[in-house]
Structure 1
């Protein structure tokens, strides 16, 4: 990039960005948490060791992987056991899995390995301690697992078609952190170097599970996998409704994520592209096109979106040249052209344009953690609150809630699994136990009841305390405009899959494979550096939208 002093453009307005359809079109970027983790592992010169391995020829037993990060040692404990095929399911109601995992604070001794061996397979029903940082479980991609093991044992060609199509050996059905089921609260590691960012412990767990799956299949097959093949084998994940309400329950954290991404885009718009960056953008555009060709899923509606995106991407990037990209205003011109296409095209363009500018945007990842919640400002005047409603909340105040469709759904927590669920208000019981995710409706009711009131807001709340929650959220928007999803989350047409994709894109997920509007499969860490790459000193932070190797 050429040295220049250019005023940073304004960020895209929250009323444009924080819409479910756009959020449901987001792609991973270099700001995603897995990318941040691998950069830190590389910068720290981290190395992975395997102090414990007791796996039999059928692939059953226990293993421990240890890595040093930020001056602390962490270990992944893994246990695999026989599983009746009838019990293999991605659903949260499952009670048994092919493998279970615990991210451990330190290195477990024999006594701790024995404890983890008895408790990890129980998952939610187990008993855990403050040494246990994350809890996870996974099932094999049985077809691919068997094909690779057979090929390695026979010394025959690997099933590269299946490897490219599936992209992982195991698929996690949960990666729990932050105090769930008795494991350590996030505060235990939140200030530690390397784990201070959002979901860093969970991302470390996923990356180490990937290393275990590679070793496991090599052990069972009796031969090594080529490194290029292992890089293509990430970790699958099945994610459902349990993840969606997180974005609503942590509004200030959501703001931090989104404003960092929008600031990154603004910084890139302000930067002048030089020949090196131009060459990189052209190469990345080709990679993205190949990634889209390799992304195929069963769902016809979402596959049609992918096909459309392939065509739009080809048109957007057709005729790219170094000279054209180095012209002033080239980034803005590309962004403007993308606006003629789908939200998928627009958000893919954002991730693409950010990618070559690590020196400009990577520091923003230090601002993505946010432990705070909205706090009531009781002295704010009713007039000032009305101003915030007018400035930020048209998405809520303009909805016609007399239409049953506007409140057709409701969120609740299931008694059996303590997981979020969605009910149909007109036909299913439980609306009397509704979770407070009907933000738009609550804001509209606040706006109506605020009419005619003056003085400080505490006086209004003394009369109508039921509006306290909505007041806090509206007040937060003054300094945190990206804190609120600006759509109706109980509308008949609301699709939770949009919230899932937004959050998963920040994790670094790719190849979204929706199974309904309620849950999706994804791939994590595909293309990421291997433990061996760290040991060899060849690890690189260059795996945005990975593609298959020849």
Structure 2
């Protein structure tokens, strides 16, 4: 086969199947997740992390600077640790103080810049920043685990492995801001830099370095050293709410690209004709790792824990039916779980992608959106109408006039400038609704086209309220995975499904929903430590304790 010959692949799964909230809310991280891509890049460049500044009291309050070079460009994390009164500690976005705060800095800051950041970072939204500040973040301690680790190290022993396994992080971030917020650098200043050109690469680098800091801080306060396998299992927690959910609706090209890459990776591995003995053994070992990971995934919410318990049992049934020695073994594996739960189906998809980096990793270069929508214009309103009928049947189906069909509305909180979800018939504010009701708008457009004739431009000149809907329909032919094919204002819409989809692309695991509107997760658990990138850069899918 010639080097430039097309890579074999099966048909991609239909957007009507993939772009449903229930399936998106069942997604697992893959080797294409942004954190995985980052650690591969760090390893490939043999990146080393230095600590040029450490100004920290015995109690762990002060500041520290970490520096590295990526893509021949230096970056630094400035971390600030403060003494936070217990009554001020909260994961809610209304918080005004945090245990720690961070800036990912463009370059290596001098003393004046460090002083500026140390004064500004703890204030977060109340401060203002410069374009040298690429990412702004904050995090709170997992107080019980942090205190336990400190106590154990001071006593000359290692912390309880059960607690490490149960919690999984020393701190959890409550925000990782990028792209110009509060005066930090706009994305376009760094989007073409090698190493940071991928989606959320700067944010993921920040999180990875924050994790490094939490290890150093607890060892400093505890006056001891954690065993390496315990350190590796301590990731970074994150509390994520509604602020993240509208991103997928507001960035349809990005969503399309992420999903297309994931589905293309799946189609490529499904086309593999046979597997050798090593590949079969690798898949079986990964399936076993997944089972162990599920066994270590426990959450307080009874309903979600019941879902995990069901998945554990269903996964045992599913993997017992895998036969990787047959022809088209990975295609057969996916076919074998067609009648299983969406959780099992999406875990199987992530599993079979995992061992085939040579085949799928280059696809990660296609996950950005450097150009924005590139769409062909409609010939006339009839062309527009036919496109809706062919590609937006999902939008025409719901009845948006019933209380259940439009029972919720999205808006932006004036106080925190964060997205929120209101109950249309129980709460005020529907007149401030954000335009995330894509399905309803497309259906209204379709009705408005009933008697229309001629150019689309003439139609919009007379009825400009349909402009957004027209632009979304125009994207349909070129970007088939751009739309969530559900009614996002129905009472049945669960924002947690959108959160899980996006967070899985970050590389998150161990979702811990606190409601249908916010969740805790773990990032970087099992990821290589800064001094072991060369040997462990790319084998931490669904990490398990002790690995």
* TM-score of the superposed pair, with normalisation by structure 1: 0.97
Counterpart mapping for 1:480-519 below 5 A: 480-519=479-518
Cα deviation code 1:149-182 (max 9, x no counterpart): 0100001341111100000000000000000010
Divergent runs of 4+, >6 A: 3-6
Give the equivalent residue in structure 1 for 2:141.
140
Counterpart mapping for 1:17-56 below 5 A: 17-56=18-57
Give the equivalent residue in structure 2 for 1:419.
418
Contact 1:15/1:392, CA 8 A, preserved across alignment: no
Cα deviation code 1:123-163 (max 9, x no counterpart): 01112001000000000000000101010000134111110
Q: Which moved more, 1:118-127 or 1:153-162?
A: 153-162
Q: Which moved more, 1:511-520 or 1:372-381?
A: 372-381
Give the equivalent residue in structure 2 for 1:464.
463
Counterpart mapping for 1:367-386 below 5 A: 367-374=366-373, 379-386=378-385
Give the equivalent residue in structure 2 for 1:202.
203
Cα deviation code 1:191-236 (max 9, x no counterpart): 0001000000000000000000000011111111111111100000
1:374 and 1:44 mapped to 2: Cα distance? 33
Q: Say whether residues 1:542 and 2:523 are aligned partners.
A: no
Q: Cα offset for 1:539?
A: 3.0
Q: Say whether residues 1:79 and 2:80 are aligned partners.
A: yes
Q: Say whether residues 1:444 and 2:448 are aligned partners.
A: no
Contact 2:378/2:384, CA 8 A, preserved across alignment: no
Q: Say whether residues 1:302 and 2:304 are aligned partners.
A: yes
Q: Which moved more, 1:89-98 or 1:295-304?
A: 295-304
1:89 and 1:396 mapped to 2: Cα distance? 39
2:10 and 2:201 mapped to 1: Cα distance? 31
Contact 2:409/2:489, CA 8 A, preserved across alignment: yes
SS at match of 2:145: helix
2:375 and 2:521 mapped to 1: Cα distance? 38
Give the equivalent residue in structure 2 for 1:389.
388
Q: Cα offset for 1:493?
A: 0.9
1:372 and 1:248 mapped to 2: Cα distance? 17
Give the equivalent residue in structure 2 for 1:274.
276
Q: Cα offset for 1:10?
A: 1.0
Q: Cα offset for 1:6?
A: 7.6
Contact 1:251/1:373, CA 8 A, preserved across alignment: no
SS at match of 1:223: coil
1:540 and 1:326 mapped to 2: Cα distance? 29
Give the equivalent residue in structure 1 for 2:89.
88
Give the equivalent residue in structure 2 for 1:285.
287
Give the equivalent residue in structure 2 for 1:161.
162
1:524 and 1:254 mapped to 2: Cα distance? 21
Q: Say whether residues 1:123 and 2:124 are aligned partners.
A: yes
Cα deviation code 1:350-402 (max 9, x no counterpart): 10000001000000000000144446765532122122111221111111123
2:477 and 2:530 mapped to 1: Cα distance? 45
RMSD: 1.4
Contact 1:374/1:473, CA 8 A, preserved across alignment: no
1:331 and 1:271 mapped to 2: Cα distance? 7
Q: Cα offset for 1:271?
A: 1.6
Q: Cα offset for 1:533?
A: 0.8
Give the equivalent residue in structure 2 for 1:329.
328
Q: Cα offset for 1:274?
A: 2.1
Q: Alpha carbons of 1:7 and 1:109: their partners in 2 closer, same or farther (altered >3 Å)?
A: closer
Q: Alpha carbons of 1:546 and 1:425: their partners in 2 closer, same or farther (altered >3 Å)?
A: same
Q: Which moved more, 1:305-314 or 1:537-546?
A: 537-546
Contact 1:375/1:472, CA 8 A, preserved across alignment: no
Q: Which moved more, 1:375-384 or 1:17-26?
A: 375-384
Contact 2:272/2:329, CA 8 A, preserved across alignment: no
Unaligned runs of at least 5 residues, structure 2? none
1:380 and 1:476 mapped to 2: Cα distance? 14
Q: Which moved more, 1:298-307 or 1:104-113?
A: 298-307
Give the equivalent residue in structure 2 for 1:343.
342
SS at match of 2:193: coil
Give the equivalent residue in structure 2 for 1:9.
10
1:211 and 1:57 mapped to 2: Cα distance? 18
2:158 and 2:436 mapped to 1: Cα distance? 52
1:192 and 1:123 mapped to 2: Cα distance? 26
Cα deviation code 1:322-344 (max 9, x no counterpart): xx413212112211121211111
Give the equivalent residue in structure 1 for 2:406.
407
Contact 2:158/2:226, CA 8 A, preserved across alignment: no
Q: Alpha carbons of 1:137 and 1:332: their partners in 2 closer, same or farther (altered >3 Å)?
A: same
Contact 2:272/2:328, CA 8 A, preserved across alignment: no
Unaligned runs of at least 5 residues, structure 1? none
Contact 2:271/2:331, CA 8 A, preserved across alignment: no
Cα deviation code 1:45-92 (max 9, x no counterpart): 000000000011100000000011111110000000100101100000
SS at match of 1:237: strand
SS at match of 2:481: helix
2:174 and 2:50 mapped to 1: Cα distance? 26
Contact 1:374/1:472, CA 8 A, preserved across alignment: no
Contact 1:397/1:444, CA 8 A, preserved across alignment: yes
Q: Say whether residues 1:312 and 2:335 are aligned partners.
A: no
Q: Cα offset for 1:427?
A: 1.4
